[in-house]
Amino acid sequence: MSPRPVDTAAAKLAGAGVLAAVVLAAGRLLAQGLRRLPLPHGPVPRSRPPGAWRRESRDLHAAAAALCASVLADSAVEHYRGSFENPGMVAPLAASALAIVAGIDAAIAARLPSPMRRGGYRLAAAVGAAGLGFHLYDVQRRPGGFGWLNLFYAAPLGAPAALVLAGILGLAAERVGADSDGASARMAGLPPGRALCAVVAAGLAGTVGEVALLHYRGSFQNPFMWLPVSLPPVAAALTAKAAIDRSGRRDRRFTRAWLWLTALLGVGGVGFHAWGVSRAMAGWRNWRQNLLDGPPLPAPPAFSALALAGLAALRLRERDGG
């Protein structure tokens, strides 16, 4: 493994610019939200019409928050391991935290103004896109460029892409929730169920690719390491089929069951990764180092978050009608 190259002054300057933009945007969103919050004992404003309380919108918000939480925890560990060398490494932590607040609020109480939630999701997506650019830069600047060794050990491409995906899911939840009956909402010119099934399928496929790369690096030494590269691809294929299938009102029980299986896989993956940490030198007694060097605990829940979004997308798809 080649030593990690040090960021150039230009890269650090770009990272500082991204961080400054995130701080300014987050500060503006928080200020707007605080001005619109109700006074103590005052009436609770409805930031969305009654149709916004439908189950699909809440589940999509919850999925976006869960995916952001996975990114936040994973980025915090990985960027701490990188000593936050580039100031931009702080940006995804702030953006994902703001999006988590937006998602939890919308899923539970919807007390925050809708523009603040949308702004939080847009900021998360923008920071994820910027992070993807930084991670691509980190891969290509190493000796050998886009070779397998650098894909194994350079900055992972999946984490910032997941933050982009979380922002898209949150914005979709706002779009679905703002519609009174779900019939008139359109996303990229498509009915919401079809569009979201396609988004979830792409997200599952990308997550499987990232997991396959890292588990291949680990030589699939545990047979259970094959599960996240065998079960979720089926869920991705079934969800993609739901996106292109003309029979919008079909009851897709098998697809739903497989998405639940994928969600459980994400929960079980945390247990397996925790077991992997315990097998390192001194186990959990040396947690400060083993959490950094062992299998990442925050990664598997990404499957659970995407499965939850897929279940909501299926319910919308069954009402699309075509």
Question: How far is the C-alpha of 202 from the C-alpha of 199, rounded, in Å?
Answer: 5
Structure tokens at 78: 């990985």
pLDDT along the chain (322 residues), means of 10: 70 93 91 67 49 77 97 94 92 96 90 90 97 93 86 89 97 84 68 93 96 92 94 96 78 92 96 92 87 90 97 88 59
Q: Which residues, 6+ apart, have CB-to-CB distance to 139 below 8 Å? A: 145, 146, 150, 151, 154, 155, 157
Cα→Cα distances 37→34, 109, 118, 223, 267, Å: 5, 12, 16, 51, 35
Burial class (CB in 10 A: 0-12, 13-18, 19+), 271: exposed
pLDDT number for residue 22: 94
pLDDT number for residue 180: 55
Burial letters for 128-164: b for 16+ Cβ neighbours within 10 Å, e otherwise? bebbbebbeebbeebeeeeeeebbeebbbbbbbbbbb
Q: Which residues, 6+ apart, have CB-to-CB distance to 70 below 8 Å? A: 162, 298, 299, 301, 302, 305
pTM recorded for the entire structure: 0.89
- Alpha helices in the chain, H assignment, sequence order: 9-36, 55-81, 91-108, 114-140, 148-153, 158-178, 192-217, 231-244, 253-278, 287-293, 301-320
- Nearest CA to 204 out of 236, 158, 226 is that of 236
pLDDT number for residue 145: 85
